[in-house]
Amino acid sequence: MRTLTLCLLLLSVAACGRFAPDRDRGPDIAVTEGPGAEVLRPQGRPGAGALPAGTPPGAGADGSVPAPPPPAADGLLGETLAGLGATGGPGLWLMTGLVTEARQGRVETAGGGRLSVELRPSGAAPSAGSTLSVQAMQRLQLPLGQLANLRVYAE
């Protein structure tokens, strides 16, 4: 008896959709053509085009990267925002746009941590940010998943 009641209930629910009064009615609104010239569209800035693929971050419109500033009297190259670099690269290094060739240097954190590292050129603009090796982040006691504000010095 239960099975028969269940089957009849399922058949009656399934049949409800067949007899809907508005089933054969079409859509309320039909769109036949796209917007015309009267629609306002955003305009690009004059002379602002897309940069070619492979352009380094912080590069100018012609694709050239500005040279980093010369070091200050105390060796300060600048400040950078650094994140975790490639995990396969061992050693203590900082890849940054603040240098154009590999050299020794040091980094300092806002909390007073200091570490001697190899400064490696990234090929990006000096303002493009930097990446720091896993070992360097661990020695400076920086969280691996966060960005760190660093002062970079040449030695």
pLDDT tens, position by position, 77-111: 999 999 998 877 789 999 999 999 999 999 999 88
Domain span holding position 95: 81-154
CA–CA gap between residue 34 and residue 58 (Å, rounded): 39
CATH number reported for the structural domain that contains residue 139 in this entry? 2.40.40.20
Q: What is the pLDDT of residue 149?
A: 94
Q: Give domain status of residue 120, yes or no.
A: yes
Residue 6 lies inside a defined structural domain of this protein: no
Which residue would you say has higher pLDDT here, 78 or 27? 78
pLDDT at 68: 63
The answer to whether residue 93 is domain-embedded is yes
Return the bridge partners of 82, or none: 130, 148
Domain assignment of residue 52, yes or no = no
Return the closest-CA partner of residue 105 out of 89, 120, 86, 126. 120
Residue 34 lies in a domain: no
More confident of the two residues 94 and 56: 94
pLDDT at 18 over 70: no
Number of domains in the chain: 1
- What is the predicted pLDDT for the residue at 1? 75
In a domain, residue 66? The reply is no
β-bridge pairing 130-132 and 76-84: parallel
